[in-house]
Copies of this chain bind each other. A is one copy, B any other.
Amino acid sequence: MNAQTEMKPYVIGLDLGGTNSVFGIVDSRGDIKATTAIKTQGYDTVEEYVDASVAALLPIIEEVGGIEKIKAMGIGAPNANYYTGTIEFAPNLSWGHDGIVPLADMFKERLGVPVAMTNDANAAAIGEMTYGVARGMKNFIVLTLGTGVGSGIVINGQLVYGCDGFAGELGHVIMRRENGRVCGCERTGCLEAYCSATGVARTAREFLATTDEPSILRDMDPDAITSLDVSIAAGKGDKLALRVYEFTGEMLGEACADFAAFSSPEAFIFFGGLTKAGDLIMEPIKRSYDEHVLKIFRNKAKFLISGLDGSSAAVLGASAIGWEI
């Protein structure tokens, strides 16, 4: 650590989610020194949201020794553009759905420290490189398997933002070009429509509707089935639920085989709710990858689960963006 880091040993991370905004003050090893949180919604304007954020932040900033100990702030947020520091037309934010919100500049003005912002999957990738399983790696891809499928791509040690700041939308490569499922992006056949948490629940419903296979999931209202229910059933050895994970992992492996043809990463790192299934999902991913990938890439890439502490992973990821400024 250089003198600058010794003088300013912390960054602020903000995980700006649809419901909660969680703040953490983090040191260079990824230890969270202080946290606070506010509700994300319920403000009429972004100014009110920033006011509430700063009011919550000031006490924990004092706790670690004042603003002169803070090097920067990093924000992980939906629809965030790294290049401009803006949130653009975020459908789920009461104060951000109908325009371009210069959130990074607003925090910079109020706190007097540099602020960088990107989407949560990119934040996760920088988080893995800074504190997690990608330390020392120059080429890897993080896939976030949550409500949707997101991605953060690192090439030559740099996050890939593309010409417009929106690169790395691997949840929206097309995996089924015929009779594909409708995706939230209004197209059909996207990876996300199959391999997100909601995709897993959809697959379970499809398997239940199209087979007579016995399953404890048949005791539930099909529309109420979630990926958690599938995971619990699979944990009990339910064959249909296990097949759902096979199907999901196989498609993820096929997708990763295509991603290898693009950037030949050292590792694929999986992050988010679905990874709690562990080997149930990771084994079919690896098997399918080796089966489908171009021969020159076979047995090269590692398949890893995120090394960031689950409950604070998003805050750590966001804070890591701060070190990059």
Which residues of A approach B to under 8 Å, CB–CB?
A: 138-139, 153, 155-156, 158, 160-170, 172-178, 185-187, 254, 257-259, 261-266, 292, 294-297, 300-301
Residue in chain B with minimal CB distance to A259 = B262
Complex-state Cα separation, A70 to B223, whole angstroms = 70
Determine if B177 and A175 form an interchain contact, defined as CB atoms under 8 angstroms apart.
yes
A239 CB → nearest B CB, Å: 25
In the complex, which residues of chain B have a beta carbon less than 8 angstroms from the beta carbon of A261?
167-170, 172-173
A150 to chain B, nearest CB (A): 11
Most buried by B among A153, A176, A263: A263
Q: How many whole Å from A141's CB to the nearest CB in chain B? A: 9
Contact call A264/B139, Cβ cutoff below 8 A: no
Contact partner, A294, options B187, B266, B295, Cβ 8 Å? B187
- B166 lies within 8 A of A264 (CB): yes
Contact present for A258 and B174 (CB under 8 Å):
yes
Is the Cβ of B156 less than 8 Å from the Cβ of A294?
no
Q: Is the CB of B164 within 8 A of A155?
A: no
Which residue in chain B gives the minimum CB-CB distance to A140?
Answer: B163
Set of chain B residues within 8 Å of A169, measured between Cβ atoms: 261, 294, 296
Q: Are B172 and A294 in contact (CB under 8 A)?
A: yes
Show 26 A/B contacts (Cβ-Cβ < 8 Å), sorted by A. A139-B162, A153-B262, A155-B156, A155-B160, A156-B158, A160-B262, A161-B264, A163-B265, A163-B300, A163-B301, A164-B297, A164-B300, A166-B264, A167-B261, A167-B263, A167-B264, A168-B262, A172-B261, A172-B294, A173-B261, A174-B292, A176-B177, A177-B177, A187-B292, A259-B262, A262-B263
Report the minimal beta-carbon distance from A268 to chain B, rounded to whole angstroms: 12
For residue A155, give the distance in angstroms from its CB to the closest CB of chain B.
Answer: 5
Residues of B within 8 A of A300 (CB): 163-164
Set of chain B residues within 8 Å of A167, measured between Cβ atoms:
139, 261-264
CA distance A192 to B264 in the complex (A): 18
- The reply to whether B160 and A263 form a contact with Cβ atoms under 8 Å apart is yes
Whole-angstrom CA separation of A138 from B165 in the bound complex: 13
Whole-angstrom distance from the CB of A225 to the nearest CB of chain B?
26
Residue ID in chain B nearest A261 by CB atoms: B169
The chain B residue with its CB closest to the CB of A191 is: B261
Q: Distance (Å) between the CB of A294 and the closest chain B CB?
A: 5
Nearest CB to that of A301 among chain B residues? Answer: B163
A264 interface neighbour in B162, B173, B266, B294, Cβ under 8 Å: B162
A262 proximity list for chain B (CB < 8 A): 153, 160, 167-168, 170, 173, 259, 262-263
Known: A164-B296, A170-B261. 8 other contacts (CB 8 A): A162-B263, A163-B300, A167-B264, A168-B261, A168-B263, A174-B257, A175-B177, A177-B177
